[in-house]
Structure 1
């Protein structure tokens, strides 16, 4: 009897091939073109009539082992971890150039900012293109913008600091901004002129920009990049006379204007040196929102740094005036930082790949710093990015940026050899993130190999044993709950031809009945009873996830399936 043996597909094909002689290197698809894809290798084997279920199980194990080893090899290749560093860099440079050109062409081919910013048209544009990551819709949320230039994190830190010192220029002109904001205007241009005038008393001259492609910007604060003789936008401002007028959102229009501005040839020499950081300010009536924007390899990343804040004055409310003053002070300091940055951008080499990655390219303490270069993303989730990096001595490491991390839990697991070694966890950075650096492990996630590992009983039991040990013998005795025990957070490693499990991603890990699940937890997934946004962590949640994992991983052998009780 002939069978197709595959980790993905099984079918009895004896009758189909009766009387047909197959050449050793024939493509099976030639015989089964209606049902078999041509993207996998198919192997036909002839099973002896007296083969036992134990022998079939052994064949399954061997095939799944080969499949997992093959996946690890593919992962190494895809991650550019093989080959010389110079060869990798040349390939990356070509990829960067092509991706950047495609981005520029797509942006310049867009309809005008005013037109494309209408909700229906912007929705259609976002459905057809994945280049403007503004968080609208949710599928277009990108990495945190504070990671790409320090100015954004510093702005957030300054604005949230209630003790921030307000300079004299800001203090004296805050009421002028408030007065201009709360006035009622007949037409939008009157609001633009009045508020621009009040802003200029604090920030310096604002100008209306006509791009080379004839698109316009309501207002911009610009500087000249030293030595390059090209203008750089410190801020782009987009106005609507009042909320509900103009038919579109000024933050969306401002984001599109930012993309068009920096895609122009007149800014090319700057664009080839840096990520073009600018503030985008959306104003609708007396309401104002500040966003940060950067121009990356294949996306425009824009993220709100504040809510929409009302700039109106309330009677006998000095605290409210101080809030507006703090916003203006934080912006003024941010503009000063960007002005100095663009004045020195000429010293950055053209077409350097570093401009598309987080600005922090080292880790460690002041007198023990390790520098590295980013190679590529290790995960596809842009909201929780993880990067492979390479140090100056060629060592591969993993870097991520998180708002919360339980480094002691990670260290406890790493001490048992059941998590990658944690090399560094920084204090909180401006903007609220921590840098986490760990060793690179040659592994694949359980999520990527679960269908194969099920066919290998020994591997499945070994991985489950390791994970169970971490949870019940390492974390729980310390009153710690891992909390996010899903297959993407479990690594499968091959040590001396034996597969083991490791845990990664200790972002949610915390003390039971004290720490809580994040508010943004995806409730569309099947969580244990009691898991919900803001709920306290509990050991029983880990235990329920362990049982779920056991059922997913360890399936009965053929002998057990046919056992009659």
Structure 2
């Protein structure tokens, strides 16, 4: 029979947005109920349970939906009847009317709106998102007010910096390791481009010649940093180095803001594309120039008119004598600072005469980054500030579908609670071992009806072959985009984006059910069998990586495996070095950091999954 659409409205949904569900006259009401629940889950931030359906014919206007009253229970559609029993002439169904009133319990997804009571009224998804962004903006301002009280030079002093990092106003610069933020390459393309360009073999001789000339200034010995104007020109590293850098990087400006007077900046439309701090030699000046650059970064940006429009991507240049390190910084709830290079010897080295090419390439990457950020800040400065917000989410907002067209999406929330709380990006176990958290987000596809939710994941490695094998059999979410297959679209040399369908359910690790249907164990068994037949070890078969799939009646209908980061060939792949061996995780014998992965490990881990649960 010909398909047609019925518009549905959930009673108590104060977004007042009806949604269409495609059906046919020969479909029974029971399966129509399942379709309605699935469609609602795709277009909203909550799920619905215990559905009761009523046939109506009412206006889809907000004012009419706001005043609708639930029909008597005896008018509820019967599950065993067919759609055709209630809609005998589909061609007469009007597209601008609501045809089904849904009475249900609205259950919020905890990642989005945990405060909404079961069955209670639910804030609009857009309002939830806007409130989240406003809270994020307030947190940034509050951090600046608290952390910027000392000047940058004073705050960078070792004792003061220790005190800051031990308090609540720490920076995420990896000092100590637990204060490491998420990869900055995810928040602006300039950093991934910098790292990719650093690996490029293409390089011209012109800049190399200029850098070679600079080596003389870099390697020279200078008097202590001047405390007065009595020091003659050429006797201080600061002006000598800055003047020499002008020839191939452009003019580095000396600016002074409240609490900050860096040794040089590139500034465009009140946006800082680079901040430089230098010390005469290693150990002089009382602070690490990379830390002082981070402190100056904070104090410069908190006064910028662009602060509330972006994540403030900036290149930091730290110089101590003839040594230099390039870092990148972004500002989420607090600054995240990460090195893009090691500390480099910027001078001639007879033992490594070809090293000049790498040093020149570093300077070229700084130059290209400065140009890239100049375009970026010029563009956002020209836009209406009311249309811009600093985003707590990564910058990728689209992917290329298999058919070749671009698919845009909008982030809704972090699925992993720690993904947005960068201060906890590294988790510490009881033994002080630290492991990286995952970066997994819930998003909504744009310009697609009905609204569809997807999961966005950022990884360093991913076994799309394993994912695809299971997805084909319905034992993993459908893989919509595999960034590892598109090297030209990677987020720098070491990070990729994965997009998959959103599955209605809960992972086994968060389920309180001590009794599970037999199909859960059967699906896990079948998934492992498929992988092992392909000589693939899953590797990380713990309860958080087993998704319990729920049907329209909210009952568990099976299981899917998620998280294919570790999957590798039997006796070829190795477990990650940061594998958590101490945080109450029971691993199969032989599972250790860096050890070979074996199929038998999966089989043992499968038994551990259900040791405290009963399959019936």
Q: Which TM-score tier does this pair reach, normalised by the shorter chain?
A: 0.7 to 0.9
Pick one of 319, 340, 347 that aligns with 1:305. Answer: 340
Deviations 1:237-284 (A, max 9, x none): 1222222333432222211211111011xx12x122222211011222
C-alpha deviation, 1:147, in angstroms: 1.2
- Are residues 318 and 99 of structure 1, via their aligned partners in 2, closer, same or farther at CA, if it must alter by over 3 Å? same
1:176 counterpart (190, 197, 213): 213
| 8 Å CA contact 2:439, 2:459 repeated in 1 | no
* 1:246 corresponds to which of 259, 274, 285: 285
Deviation of the 1:413 alpha carbon: 1.5
Q: Give distance in 2, aligned partners of 1:79 and 1:205.
A: 52
Q: 1:74 to 1:160 in 2, by over 3 A?
A: closer
Partner residue of 1:160 out of 181, 199, 208? 199
Does 1:209 pair with 2:245? no
Residue 164 of structure 1: how far off its partner (Å):
2.2
For residues 285-336 of structure 1, give each alpha carbon's deviation from its aligned partner in whole angstroms, at most 9, with x where no partner exists.
Answer: 222111111122x121211111112212112744111111111111111111
Q: Is the 8 A contact 2:470 2:530 kept in 1?
A: yes
The answer (yes or no) to whether the contact 2:186–2:491 under 8 Å persists in 1 is no
- 2:523 paired with 1:469: no
CA deviation vs aligned residue, 1:422-460 (integer Å, no higher than 9, x gap): 1111223141211100111222232223xx223xx234x
What are the within-5 Å matches in structure 2 for residues 144-543 of structure 1?
Answer: 144-161=183-200, 163-166=201-204, 168=206, 170-188=207-225, 190-211=236-257, 213-223=258-268, 225=269, 231-264=270-303, 267-268=304-305, 270-296=306-332, 298-315=333-350, 317-350=352-385, 352-353=388-389, 355-364=391-400, 367-381=404-418, 382=425, 383-392=437-446, 393=448, 394-426=451-483, 427-428=486-487, 429-432=490-493, 433-449=495-511, 452-454=512-514, 457-459=515-517, 462-471=519-528, 473-495=529-551, 496=553, 497-498=555-556, 500-525=558-583, 526=585, 527-543=587-603
CA distance in 2, matches of 1:348, 1:463: 52
Are 2:137 and 2:390, in contact at CA under 8 Å, matched by a contact in 1? no
Cα distance between partner residues in 2 of 1:236 and 1:187: 22
C-alpha separation in 1, matches of 2:286 and 2:601 = 47
Task: Give 1:518 shift.
Answer: 2.4
| Residues 70 and 344 of structure 1, relative CA distance in 2, 3 Å threshold | closer
- Check whether the contact 1:75–1:444 (CA below 8 A) recurs between aligned residues: no
Contact 2:308-2:389 within 8 A present in 1 as well: no
Deviation at 1:130, TM superposition (A): 5.5
Cα displacement (A) at 1:554: 4.3
Q: 1:194 to 1:552 in 2, by over 3 A?
A: farther
Q: CA deviation at 1:353?
A: 4.0
Q: Which has the higher contact order (CA 8 A, sep 6+)?
A: 1
Aligned 8 A contact 1:103 1:131 in 2: no
The whole-number CA distance in structure 1 between the counterparts of 2:341 and 2:334 is 22
Tell me if the contact between 1:76 and 1:82 (Cα under 8 Å) persists in the aligned partners: no
Give how far 1:233 is off: 1.5
Using a 3 Å threshold, how does the CA distance of structure 1 residues 388 and 318 change in structure 2: closer, same or farther? Answer: same
Give the aligned partner of residue 95 of structure 1. Answer: 135
Other structure's SS at 1:291 match: strand
Q: How does 1:96-135 map to 2 (within 5 A)?
A: 96-109=136-149, 111-129=150-168, 132-135=171-174
Contact kept, 8 Å, 1:173 with 1:198, in 2: the verdict is: no
- After superposition, the Cα gap between the structure-2 partners of 1:118 and 1:553, relative to the gap in structure 1 and judged at 3 Å, is farther
**Within 1, Cα distance between the matches of 2:383 and 2:238?**
36
Q: Which has the higher helix share?
A: 1
Give the drift of 1:348: 4.0
The answer to whether the Cα contact below 8 Å between 1:280 and 1:293 also exists between their aligned partners in 2 is: yes
Pairwise CA distance, 1:236: 0.8
Distance in 2, matches of 1:514 and 1:400, equals: 25
1:409, 1:480 within 8 Å by CA — same for their partners in 2?
A: yes
Post-superposition offset of 1:155 = 0.7
Structure 1 unmatched runs, 5+ = 1-68, 226-230, 558-565
Q: Distance in 1 between matches of 2:124 and 2:140?
A: 24
CA gap 1:489/1:72 in 2 versus in 1, 3 angstroms: farther
Query: How far is 1:404 from its partner?
Result: 0.8
Instruction: Please tell me whether the aligned partners of residues 72 and 443 of structure 1 are also in contact (alpha carbons under 8 angstroms).
Output: no
Q: Compared with structure 1, are the counterparts of its residues 216 and 470 closer, same or farther at alpha carbon in structure 2 (3 Å cutoff)?
A: same
CA contact (8 A) 2:439 2:457 kept: yes
TM-score by length of 1: 0.76
Q: Which runs of 5+ in 2 are unaligned?
A: 1-104, 227-235, 419-424, 426-436
**Deviation string for 1:507-533 (max 9, x for gaps)?**
111111222222333343443333333
SS of 1:207's equivalent in the other structure is: coil
Contact 1:134–1:142 at 8 Å: present in 2 too? yes
Distance 1:164 1:78, change over 3 A: farther
* Structure 2 SS opposite 1:371: strand
Of 519-528 and 400-409, deviating more is 519-528
